[in-house]
Structure 1
Amino acid sequence: MLVAAAVCPCPPLLVPEVAAGAASELDGLRAACLDAVAVLAAARPDRLVVLGPAGLRGRGPHPQGATGSFRSLGVDLDVRLGQGDPAGEGELPQSLAVAAWLLERTGWAAAPVEGLGVGEELEAERCLAAGRELAGGTERVAFLVMGDGSACRTLKAPGYLDERAESFDAGAVRALGAADTAALAALDAELAYELKAAGRAPWQVLAGAGEGAGLHGQLLYEGAPYGVGYYVAGWS
């Protein structure tokens, strides 16, 4: 059963070495993410599942010890998902590499960790079913869910300005902050894809896992500093 969840965005700029001179611009977001991970540790889970959007090569499960890096961004920095020896042949997708960095930053040792890369176009029903399966049974499971809102909030945003973006993000923020699984499940997958909202599918996996769990949400951060929606929430 799901006992806690943390929702965080996954821009590589969260990692100070990647952000370089602009690192201080995201200090508030970075602190909120670390606070959200602390919510997970306080729940004393038996297992932590880390979810995030992934391309074709990064989809599917990633075991504890799976490695990732930020070398493709010109930064000589490697990360590992959880503790233990390196595992797996494939590299973590970028979203899970950011999650691994967050866990390393907090010294995560509360529970074993596993990762799951989720395709951005995965249908809502399949996302919900995956969440129900991951959180099924009596084991105490926590989720760290990585994903951004729309990337169309301003003229300089990666997806340019789309007038629908603000309304979409507002609905997602309300649902994440209230731990409203029904509202998350109802997010429009096609619209999310058009708005480049990479968090939609992982959020809907969380919605499936959280059905009937009785968790309460708290919004810890909301902003769109680069025209992309970044949100942090804790469910406990």
Structure 2
Amino acid sequence: MLVAAAVCPCPPLLVPEVAAGAAPELDAARAACFDALGVLAASRPDRLIVVGPTPFAGRGTHPQGATGSFRGFGVDLEVRLGAADGAPDRELPPALAVGAWLLGRAHWAGVPVEALGVGEPLEPERCLQAGRDLAASADRLAVLVMGDGSACRTLKAPGYLDERAADFDAAAARALGAADLPALRALDAPLAHELKAAGRAPWQVLAGAAEGAELGGRLLYEDAPYGVGYIVAVWS
């Protein structure tokens, strides 16, 4: 059963070495992410799953010990998912690598950590079922959910300006801040795709995992630096 969740954005710029001189611009987002991880630790889970978007269709798992890097962003920095457990041959996608970096900086230890990557096109019902499967996999499950809102909030945003983006992000922030499962289930997948919202599928995995858990939510951070919606929330 799900006992706690942390929702964090997943831009590689969250990693100071990647952001370089612009790193202070996301200090507030980083601080909120570490506060959210504190809530996960306090829930005393027996298993932690990092859920995040992947560029591949469908979904794929990554075991404890999986590694990722930020070399594709010009930084020779490698991260590992939890404790070293062999040498998996599949590298973590960027969003999950950011999650591994957060856990490493928070000195997460003592609980098995795995990851689930979900492709952006994954249909809502399949996302919900993936979450239900996760919740059934442990007596006390915690999830770290990585995902961004729309990438169309300003003219300089990666997806340019789309007037629908602010309303989409506001609805997502309300749902995540209130642990509103019906609202998360109702997120419009085609619209999310048009707005380049990488968080839609992971958020709906969370909605499936939380069914029957009766968790409350709290919004810790919401902003759109660089024209991309970033949301940090906790459920416990």
TM-score (norm 2): 0.98
Aligned to 1:164: 164
Does residue 1:69 correspond to 2:64, yes or no?
Answer: no
Aligned to 2:177: 177
Partners of 1:121 and 1:199 in 2: CA distance:
11
Partners of 2:142 and 2:133 in 1: CA distance:
13
Question: Relative to 1, partners in 2 of residues 1:168 and 1:57: Cα closer, same or farther, differing over 3 Å?
Answer: closer
Q: CA-to-partner distance for each residue in 1:92-140, whole Å, 9 max, x for gaps?
A: 0000000000000000014100001100010000000010011016611
Does residue 1:114 correspond to 2:114, yes or no?
Answer: yes
Does the 8 Å CA contact 1:58/1:91 hold for their aligned counterparts? no
Partners of 1:89 and 1:134 in 2: CA distance:
23
Alpha-carbon offset, residue 182 of structure 1: 1.1
| Number of corresponding residues | 236
Aligned to 1:150: 150
Alpha-carbon offset, residue 86 of structure 1: 4.3
Does the 8 Å CA contact 1:80/1:86 hold for their aligned counterparts? no
Alpha-carbon offset, residue 181 of structure 1: 1.1
Does residue 1:126 correspond to 2:145, yes or no?
Answer: no
Does the 8 Å CA contact 1:59/1:119 hold for their aligned counterparts? yes
Question: Relative to 1, partners in 2 of residues 1:73 and 1:137: Cα closer, same or farther, differing over 3 Å?
Answer: closer
Alpha-carbon offset, residue 222 of structure 1: 0.3
Alpha-carbon offset, residue 211 of structure 1: 1.0
Partners of 1:57 and 1:92 in 2: CA distance:
15
Aligned to 1:209: 209
Which structure 2 residue ranges, 5 or more long, are not aligned?
Answer: none
Partners of 2:201 and 2:78 in 1: CA distance:
26
Partners of 2:174 and 2:120 in 1: CA distance:
21
Partners of 1:122 and 1:108 in 2: CA distance:
29
Residue identity opposite 1:76 in structure 2: D
Alpha-carbon offset, residue 87 of structure 1: 3.1
Residue identity opposite 1:44 in structure 2: R
Q: 205-214 or 133-142, which moves further after superposition?
A: 133-142
Q: CA-to-partner distance for each residue in 1:209-233, whole Å, 9 max, x for gaps?
A: 0011010101000000110000000
Aligned to 2:12: 12
Does the 8 Å CA contact 1:150/1:197 hold for their aligned counterparts? yes
Runs of 4+ residues over 3 Å off in structure 1: none
Alpha-carbon offset, residue 88 of structure 1: 1.3
Partners of 2:138 and 2:27 in 1: CA distance:
37
Superposed counterparts of 1:12-31, under 5 Å: 12-31=12-31
Residue identity opposite 2:127 in structure 1: C
Which structure 1 residue ranges, 5 or more long, are not aligned?
Answer: none
Does the 8 Å CA contact 1:66/1:87 hold for their aligned counterparts? yes
Does the 8 Å CA contact 1:60/1:117 hold for their aligned counterparts? yes
Cα RMSD after superposing both structures: 1.2
